[in-house]
Homo-oligomer: A and B are copies of this chain.
Amino acid sequence: MLAAIAVALVASPAVADVPAPPTRLAVGLDTLWVLLAAFLVFFMQAGFGMVEAGFIRAKNTCNILTKNFVDYCSASIMFFLVGYAFMFGRGNGLIGWTGFALEGAENPSTVPLWAFWLFQAAFCGAAATIVAGGMAGRMKFHAYLMYTVVISAVVYPIVGHWVWGGGWLAGMGFGDFAGSTVVHATGGSAALIGMIVLGPRIGKYVNGKTRAIPGHNIPLASLGVFILWFGWFGFNPGSTLGMARDGGTCASLVAMNTTLSAAAGAITAMLTIWIIGGKPDLSMTMNGCLAGLVAITAPCAFIAPWAALTIGAVAGALVVGGALLLDRLRIDDPVGAVPVHGLNGIWGTLAVGIFAKAKYIRAADYDFREGLVYSGSFHQLGIQALGAGAVALFVLTAMGLVFLAIKGTVGLRVSRAEELRGLDISEHGMESYAGFQIFVTE
């Protein structure tokens, strides 16, 4: 009789308070969640495209949109052929090397390899495309093609291996739930070194003064921010990679924290620029929103809601300060890629070491130490700083060498005449807005 009860309990573990059983329904539920998340992360590519296009001038719009398409297409193909193997393959602490073209590939998830790949490939595409905006308006298109193949095939997968593929940072207990470091600090660092090597756009810094070059289509950019926020609901909550284990509790916390941080980032950025510049600038408000999203990406599963509000609020102020600092340094970042993704990718990563709380860490199925405010210890903060720093340094170096190699061979920058005329005509032979009367400025 007791045996029968035991059998019944073992045979239907879905009822018992243990992890859901590996049945087809549980797998189906997890797969549906991961596929939905992958679709949403894919859709972020549209958001990046609209933000980047809207924030630059009309004459370079087709160019940046083409880069956006090619980024995702390259990420899909290269991450299928080699990137996944470098990131999740068996290997050492630095890189994996099994599972090329997914043949015999490792699958660390509970869902079909193909679904897991799709989700990861969309992340790779996001990392690649962050750079497009930062180098807008002056880079040769075929130089860009080289860049995007390298970052999606090699550089991003290596960083991913360190953190999510069982590499050396994973082994140290580095915590990055959905990629503040893996995706955003990587993309932001690549953008930073790219814009340094490339130099500023003609007319941006004249006689020691910074001239604003306003975006040509703010409604489009604002649509892009909404699409990115929408897609981030795949990026962050989807990084639970399942629903069956805990009935979606972790994913729900992540979704709420993501929203609170984005909202706080938008509000503080608006207030900051209002105080500094005298007007509630929409571009800065939108970048504050994105900054809040980037910053919450690493800690979203590990923290309480009040911490999410705090992290977002800091991110909104940081993005304004970062943008002003870059102009002070004469580094021309047309869309704010570095303050949004680089600076706040690092801030979000550090925030794990400050605000992470044991009960949330365990509930997210992670295992590392509590942050400073709960433990009083700098231990986890140190690991977070080490991880973010190592990734930034690696990407700056690797991509710096790539950009210098391109510069020394096929060339990185278009001619002055081409830049003045706009890359749409000179590189693609087409206009973005045929029939419209548009004043082309430098």
When all copies of this chain in the complex are counted, the total is 3
Q: Are A218 and B65 in contact (CB under 8 A)?
A: yes
Q: Are A434 and B214 in contact (CB under 8 A)?
A: yes
When A32-B248, A282-B65 are in contact, do A259 and B438 touch as well, CB less than 8 Å?
Answer: no
Question: Mostly helix, strand, loop or mixed at chain A's interface?
Answer: helix
A103 to chain B, nearest CB (A): 10
Q: Is A93 an interface residue (CB 8 A)?
A: no
Which residues of chain B are within 8 angstroms of A305 by Cβ–Cβ distance? Answer: 80, 101-102
When A8-B8, A36-B36, A253-B114 are in contact, do A24 and B277 touch as well, CB less than 8 Å?
Answer: no
Task: Compute how far the CA of A309 lies from the CA of B300 in the bound complex, rounded to whole angstroms.
Answer: 36
Q: Are A437 and B439 in contact (CB under 8 A)?
A: yes
Taking residues whose C-beta sits less than 8 angstroms from the other chain, chain A's interface range is 35 or more
Which residues of chain B are within 8 angstroms of A45 by Cβ–Cβ distance? Answer: 226
A270 to chain B, nearest CB (A): 7
Which residues of chain B are within 8 angstroms of A111 by Cβ–Cβ distance? Answer: 248, 252
Q: Are A428 and B101 in contact (CB under 8 A)?
A: no
Q: Are B66 and A282 in contact (CB under 8 A)?
A: yes
Partner-contacting stretch, out of A12-20, A323-331, A378-386: A12-20
Q: Are B223 and A73 in contact (CB under 8 A)?
A: no
Q: Out of B9, B217, B270, which one reaches A11, CB within 8 Å?
A: B9
Which residues of chain B are within 8 angstroms of A247 by Cβ–Cβ distance? Answer: 24-25, 27-28, 31, 112
Partner-contacting stretch, out of A53-61, A153-161, A395-403: A53-61
Give 21 A-B contacts (CB < 8 Å), ordered by A residue.
A1-B3, A7-B8, A15-B23, A16-B23, A24-B244, A25-B247, A35-B248, A39-B230, A61-B219, A66-B270, A69-B225, A69-B266, A69-B286, A73-B262, A80-B305, A112-B253, A214-B430, A214-B434, A216-B433, A217-B432, A219-B432
Instruction: Please provide the 4 A-B residue pairs with the shortest distance between their CB atoms, ordered closest to farther.
Output: A31-B248, A46-B226, A27-B247, A12-B12
